Amino acid sequence: MASANDSRQSQKDAADQNFDYMFKLLIIGNSSVGKTSFLFRYADDSFTSAFVSTVGIDFKVKTVYRNDKRVKLQIWDTAGQERYRTITTAYYRGAMGFLLMYDITNQDSFNAVQDWATQIKTYSWDNAQVILVGNKCDLEDDRIIPTEEGRRLADELGFQFFEASAKDNINVKQVFERLVDIICEKMNESMDSDPNMLGNHKATTLQESPPSSQGGCAC
Amino acid sequence: KSKKASSFHEFARSTSDAWDIGDDEDDDFLGGPTLPSLPPPPPPSGHISSKVAVTTTNPAPHFQGWGREKLKTDGYQSNGRVVKSQSEAQLSTATGHTGNGASSGVPRTNQTCVTLTRVEAASSCSPGEQCPSECKACLIHSRCSAHKEAEWLPPVGSWRNVLKGPPVRNTLQKQQSLPLRPIIPLIARISDQNASGAPPMTVREKSRLEKFRQLLASPNTDLALRGVVARRLALVFQLLRERSDLKQRHQLPLSSAAPQWRAEELRKHSWSGIPREVRPITWRLLSGYLPANMERRELVLRRKREEYFGFIQQYYDSRNDEHHRDTYRQGLGVWHSFGSLSADTCPTELHILNCKGVTVYLKKPLLLPRQVNPGAVLVSVRAAVLHFLWPHCNRTHAVFERILFIWAIRHPASGYVQGINDLVTPFFVVFLSEFVEEDVENFDVSALPLDTQRNIEADSFWCMSKLLDGIQDNYTFAQPGIQIKVKALEELVSRIDEDVHNHFRKYEVEYLQFAFRWMNNLLMRELPLRCTIRLWDTYQAEAEGFSHFHLYVCAAFLIKWRKEILSMVDFQGLLMLLQNLPTIHWGNEEVGLLLAEAYRLKYMFADAPNHYRR
C-alpha cells in the first residue's frame, strides 16, 4: 500500500497535464506471479511480501523522461485469476504495451505464457509491444524455469525478455524503460509510414479520444 | 422471515425506538410527521452515566475528536445532573466491571452480581488510574458522557442538524441507566494497515455501546436456556424488551412474544448498529445460521459445527492421501492452464479432465464439474489467505484456508474467486472478539482452547456460506451478479446525480473501472475493517442487504465524494481518486451517515424506476 505521501505524489502525477506522450500499459500473467508488487516497486519504490490479491483491475500513473520527452505511463495492474478474465480483457483495448509476467519458481505460470500471448493477440492493438518478464529471480534456489528457457520462449513469441525481482529491485525500472523505448520506436516507425497517426494533441487527448487512443502520441 | 417496511412512515415507526426512547419531550423535537426524504435513524449511541462526574471535574481540554464533537462536548457538560439521578435509580443493578479492559470479557456474562456505588463507578474510568492502558479511550469517553443525548437521540429528520450541533434537550430522565464500564475500543483498533495509528473511536460509538451495556446488565433473564450462548441470547432479548418498554410503556406482551417477533425486533434494532458485546450472537441469528426458535439453537449449533468438521474430514484432510497426491500435484497444472483459457473457450468438465494432457483424479467427480481439483482449489486459497491481518499466525492462515477450501469445493459453480477470502474476515474477527479483548489482528488463535478455535472456525464458515448463498452470482462464470449491479449503479447515479454521471462520461471513466471491486468485495477494500463490520450489522438486518441494499450503499458512497470527483479534471486523477478513496479515518458515524443516505436512495428510487429520469 502506498503511504499518504506516495498517494499524494501519485495524485499529483495523475493530474499532471504536462506531458509529451501518454502510454497505456498493462501487466498480465497468472495469479500471484508478482504483478502488483512489480508495479508497486516501480511506481512507489516499495515492497511488501504480504499478499493482497488484486480484484478486477488496479491502476497507477507514473511520469518518466525518455529522450527529452515527458512520458506519462498509465499502468493497469490486472487480476490474474481466471474468473476476472472477462473484466480484464476489456482493458486490453488501447494498450500500447504489455508486461507479460511469469514466476521463475512456478512452472504453471510459465506454461500459461503462451495462452496469455494469445489473449494479447486476440484482444489488443496489433502494434502493442510485449515484454516477457520472469519475476522473482531473487529466489534462485527455488528456480524452476532456467533463464534460457524464458529467453527461448520470448524469441519464439517475438517478445523482449527480462528476468527481474520486485523484491530486490532488479531490472524493474529497466523493464519499464525498455518497454517505453520500444513503444517509441514502434510509434516513430508508424508515424513515418502514416503521418495521420498524429491525431491527438495534448490539450484534446482526454476530451476527444476514446480510451482506446489515450495512449496516442501528442507531439 | 423479515418483511420490509412498505413506506418510510412504517420504517420510521418501526425503527424509531432505535434512537427515540419515547420521552414526551421528544415529540416537538421530532418536528411532526416524518418526511419521505428524511434519512433513517443514525446509530443511537449515547447514554447517560455516572461518569459525568469525571467530565465535570475534568473539562475536556485536549479532546482528540473532530471539531463538531468538541463543540458539542463543550456545550453539554451541564447535563450532569441527569446522570446522577439515573445512576442512583439503577444502582442496584449495577455491573461490577471497573475498568480493566482485559477482564471485561468475563463479567459480560456475569453482569448482575456486583453492586457499585455511584462514586465507584464514576471513578472507575478516571484516566490513568485503573485503566492506564485505556486512558485515551477513557478520556474521550468521560467527556462524551456529558453530552451524549445530543449524540444518540437525534430525532427523525433532524439528525443532520444534530450533527451540526444544535441545542438538544435532555431526553433521558426516564432512561434506565447503570453505572458504566469503560469502553474497550477493540474494533477501532482493527484499523486499516495504512493507518499510522488506530483512529480514535468516535464519541457516538462509545456512548452507544455504553447504553447497550447498561441495558444488557439487567438481571431479569427469565428465559430458560442453557449454556453461554443461551445466556447471551437472553441478554439480547432482555435488551430488546427493555427498549420496547421504554418506548411503549409496557404495552407489549413481551413475555408471550413469539420467536418471530423477537427476530423482527432484533433486525430492527440491529439496523442502526449492534454493540460489540452482543454482535457475535446477533450475527449468528441474523445470518440465518442460528434458528429463530430458541429451543433448537443449541442443538443446531452443535450439529452444524459437527457437520463442518465432517467436511474437513471428507475433503480437506484427505487431500494429501497417497491416492490423492497426484491430484494435488497435477491440480496445480490444471488450475493454471485452465486459468489462462479465454472466456469463449470456457472449459467444460471434459476440458478440464483432459486439459493439456493432465489427468485429474477426482475424489468426488459428481461434486466437481468445473473448478474441480482440491489441490488446485487449495493453491488458490492458500495464496489468498496470506492476508495482511494475522501476518504471522499460521494457525489463522490454516483456519482461513480450510474455510475457503471447503466452501470452494462445495460450490463448484463459482469455486474460489479472489476476494471471497475478504468475506471471511469480518465473521472471523467478530466471533474471535467474543474471546479476545484487544489486538485481534495479531492474536494467535492457538492460544485459545481447541474447542473454541473449532467453534469460531465452523461458525465463520457457516455464516460466510449464508452470506454467499445470497450473492453467488457475483462469483460464477463472467460474474453476472456484479455486471448487473455495476450497470444498476450507473443507471442509478445517472438519476440521482447527473453532474457526477456526466463528469464520468466526459472523462471516459467507466463504472466498471472502480465499482467492480466495490461489488466484488462488498466495499471491504474501500473501508477500514471496523466500518465493514458496522456495515454488515445493517446488511444482515436488512432483507437482501448484501445483494440489493448494497447497491444503494455504493451509490451513496460514490455521491459522498462528489465534490472531490468533480474537482478532478482528467481520467487518471479520477481513477486514482476512486481507487484510493480516503476513508482511513472512518468510523461508525460515517458509516451511519452512509447507510442513512443509502436508505433514502432506496426509498426514493428502488420502486420508482423513472424517478428523476431524464
For residue B479, list chain A residues with Cβ-Cβ distance below 8 A.
Answer: 83-84, 86-87
More reliable by pLDDT, A27 or B397: A27
Lowest mean pLDDT among A19-23, A92-96, B321-325: B321-325
CB B85 within 8 A of CB B173: yes
Q: State the pLDDT at residue B549.
A: 93
Task: For residue A108, count other CB atoms closer than 10 A to its CB.
Answer: 24
Mean pLDDT lowest for which of B191-195, B343-347, B471-475, B563-567?
Answer: B343-347
- Angstroms from A54 CA to nearest CA on chain B: 8
pLDDT at B122: 35
Q: Residues with Cβ < 8 Å from B430, sequence gap 6 or more?
A: B279, B280, B283, B533
What band does B152 get if pLDDT is binned at 50, 70 and 90? very low
Position B381 scores a pLDDT of: 57
The answer to whether residue A5 neighbours chain B at the CB level (below 8 Å) is no
More confident position, B89 or A85: A85
**Does residue B108 carry a pLDDT above 70?**
no
Instruction: Give the distance from residue A117's alpha carbon to the nearest chain B alpha carbon, in angstroms.
Output: 10
> For position A182, what pLDDT does the model report?
92
> Which pLDDT belongs to residue B110?
35
Residues B413-441: pLDDT tens digits?
Answer: 777 787 788 888 899 989 988 888 777 76
pLDDT of residue A57: 82
Among chain A residues, the shortest Cα distance to B391 is held by A50
Please answer whether residues A84 and A34 qualify as being in contact, where contact means their C-beta atoms are separated by less than 8 angstroms.
Answer: no
Q: Taking residues A40-59, what's their average pLDDT?
A: 82
Neighbouring-strand partners of residue A62: A73
Q: What pLDDT does B142 receive?
A: 36
Query: What percentage of chain B exceeds 90 in pLDDT?
Result: 18
The pLDDT assigned to B144 comes to 36
The ipTM, to two decimals, is 0.75
Please name which of B98, B196, B79, B495 lies closest in space to residue A1, comparing C-alpha atoms: B196
Furthest-apart CA atoms within chain B: distance in Å: 81
**Do A35 and A29 meet the contact criterion of CB atoms below 8 Å apart?**
yes
* Highest-scoring range by mean pLDDT, A60-69, B125-134, B219-228: A60-69
**In Å, how far is A164's CA from the nearest CA of chain B?**
21
Q: Does A204 touch chain B (CB under 8 A)?
A: no
Name the residue with higher pLDDT: B118 or A42.
A42
Nearest residue to B379 via CA among B348, B410, B409: B409
Residue whose C-alpha is closest to residue B426's, from B220, B237, B279: B279
Q: In chain B, which residues have their Cβ closer than 8 Å to the Cβ of A3?
A: 194
The whole model's pTM is what? 0.62
pLDDT band with cut points at 50, 70 and 90 for residue B228: low
In this predicted structure, the answer to whether residue A4 has a pLDDT above a threshold of 50 is no
Say if residues B583 and B528 touch (Cβ distance below 8 Å): yes
**Full DSSP string of B535-574:** HHHHHHHSTTIIIIIHHHHHHHHHHHTHHHHHH--SHHHH
Q: Element (H or E) spanning A62, and its range?
A: strand A57-66
H or E stretch at B316: none
Write the single-letter amino acid at B389.
Answer: L
Least confident of B393-397, B446-450, B494-498: B393-397
Task: List C-alpha distances in Å: A205 to A93, A208, A216.
Answer: 16, 6, 8
pLDDT surpasses 70 at B94: no
**What are the tens digits of pLDDT across the range B511-520?**
988 999 999 9
User: Which range has highest mean pLDDT (B310-319, B429-438, B577-586)?
Assistant: B577-586
Bigger pLDDT: B355 or A71? Answer: A71
Q: Which chain A residue's Cα is nearest to B331?
A: A108
Query: Is B218 a residue whose pLDDT tops 70?
Result: no
